[in-house]
Amino acid sequence: MEKTIGLYLHVPFCKSKCPYCDFYSFVPDDSTMDAYTDALCRSLLAWKDRLPETVADTLYLGGGTPSLLGAKRLQAVLTAARQTFVTDGAEVTLEANPADDLDEVFATFAACGGKRISMGLQAGDDHTLQALGRRHSLHDAERAAKAVFDAGIKRLSLDMMLAVEGQTAANVRQTAAYIHTLGAEHASAYLLKIEPGTPFAARTLSLPDEDEAADLYLTAVDALASHGFAQYEISNFAKNGAVSRHNLKYWNSEPYLGLGPAAHSFIDGKRFAYPRSIAAFMDGGEPTAEAPDTATFAENSPEEYALLRLRLTDGLTETDFAARFGRSIPTAWRDRAARLPKSLVTVDSDGIRLTPEGFLVSNAIFAQIFP
């Protein structure tokens, strides 16, 4: 029987490294991008041989900066994806950097069935952009957003970063307004995390403390809502139900295949990932079983499903839990959740849900419900 998955292709290239980023990406030359494009296409064919009865109704090209591949390589990858897994009408998303000249890339993407662009806007004020060391200006962002719509692509998602040095609630409100003005239908808001080994980790930064960061997050939730973006996940917001179908697969524990260095997969109840090495991937290296942070969770376990579902504003519902596991949400989970403050967690006949305040302390809540 035909199975439907999400397909993720990792493109580990960036023009320069942002000082806070620890994603697997580096500055490439043309020959590396050519060789990597070939490796991705080969990998798609090889996986199709392994999963002949599988199709993908979402494709997400992430990174890194996949738009850096340029029109010709992007066309090759999209063609291979269509020839192997990707169905007509699939949600096809490309991450792009607003600093770049994207007209040709977007035109090619649209011609190859591309539906959605996701860009790291990060801020709607120059001060915060500079504090983050981003390559683009507000002018670049406006040009890039216009290029999306000029190419006939209707769906735009923009990211914003929270808890940046010197960032105020007014900056956050300005960014939410700017995302709306640029015509996005989807927004993601992430709290800046200082990752070990990044340039930010080596600097003395005067960052908002935990309470200030929490206030900035709640300001973002409120400001985005005032522009019509309804929160549907801890960090994600959509107008008129324009959620990311691809990312929803992660939170709904639906299957996905990730190709490229550092890309993760969840196929037939098994989680596995490619090593963070482009050389290993291009040499045909295999992914390995994901080390469970996870020692606590058996594969495809109800606990793991519940933990991912609680990231969504819909939460863990009785209906979906019963459809998946053939039983009710365990009483012990309900009882533990019900003992937590109502400002953080809602428990009723529909199931268990976190509030925006609860999302801020989600890990502590998960530890209470699933000890």
Look-up: residue for tokens 């020839």? 83
Decide: is 97 part of the binding site for ligand SF4 (CB under 6 A): yes
Decide: is 188 part of the binding site for ligand SF4 (CB under 6 A): no
The CA-to-CA distance between both ends of the chain, in Å, stands at 38
H helical segments located in 53-168: 70-84, 103-111, 126-131, 138-150
Output the smallest distance, CB 145 to ligand SF4, in A: 17
Residue from 4, 17, 143, 245 touching ligand SF4 (CB under 6 A): that is 17
Decide: is 263 part of the binding site for ligand SF4 (CB under 6 A): no
Rounded Cα distance, 130 and 161, in Å:
12
Q: Left, alpha or beta for 183 (phi > 0: left; psi -120 to 50: alpha)?
A: left
Packing angle between helix 138-150 and helix 103-111, nearest 10 degrees? 30
Output the smallest distance, CB 62 to ligand SF4, in A: 9
Output the smallest distance, CB 227 to ligand SF4, in A: 24
Per CB under 6 A, the segment of 18-26, 144-152, 160-168, 274-282 that binds ligand SF4 is 18-26
Give the 3-state DSSP-derived string for 17-75, with helices as H, strands as E and coil as C.
CCCCCCCCCECCCHHHHHHHHHHHHHHHHHHHHHCCCEEEEEEEEEECCHHHHHHHHHH
Residue from 120, 208, 351, 356 touching ligand SF4 (CB under 6 A): that is 120
Per CB under 6 A, the segment of 63-71, 105-113, 194-202, 287-295 that binds ligand SF4 is 63-71
Decide: is 14 part of the binding site for ligand SF4 (CB under 6 A): yes
Per CB under 6 A, the segment of 57-65, 111-119, 343-351, 357-365 that binds ligand SF4 is 57-65
Q: What is the Cα gyration radius of the chain?
A: 21
Decide: is 65 part of the binding site for ligand SF4 (CB under 6 A): yes
Output the smallest distance, CB 69 to ligand SF4, in A: 13
Residue from 8, 10, 25, 336 touching ligand SF4 (CB under 6 A): that is 25
Per CB under 6 A, the segment of 16-24, 50-58, 142-150, 345-353 that binds ligand SF4 is 16-24
Decide: is 297 part of the binding site for ligand SF4 (CB under 6 A): no
Decide: is 66 part of the binding site for ligand SF4 (CB under 6 A): no
Output the smallest distance, CB 31 to ligand SF4, in A: 20
User: Helix or strand or coil: residue 290?
Assistant: coil
Decide: is 64 part of the binding site for ligand SF4 (CB under 6 A): yes
Output the smallest distance, CB 64 to ligand SF4, in A: 5
Work out whether the CA dihedral 283, 20, 147, 103 comes out positive or negative: negative
**DSSP per-residue string spanning 262-284:** T-EEEETTEEEE--S-HHHHHTT
Decide: is 23 part of the binding site for ligand SF4 (CB under 6 A): yes
Give the 3-state DSSP-derived string for 306-349, with helices as H, strands as E and coil as C.
HHHHCCECCCEEHHHHHHHHCCCCCHHHHHHHHCCCCCCEEEEC
Residues that bind ligand SF4 (CB under 6 A): 14, 17-18, 21, 23, 25, 63-65, 97, 120
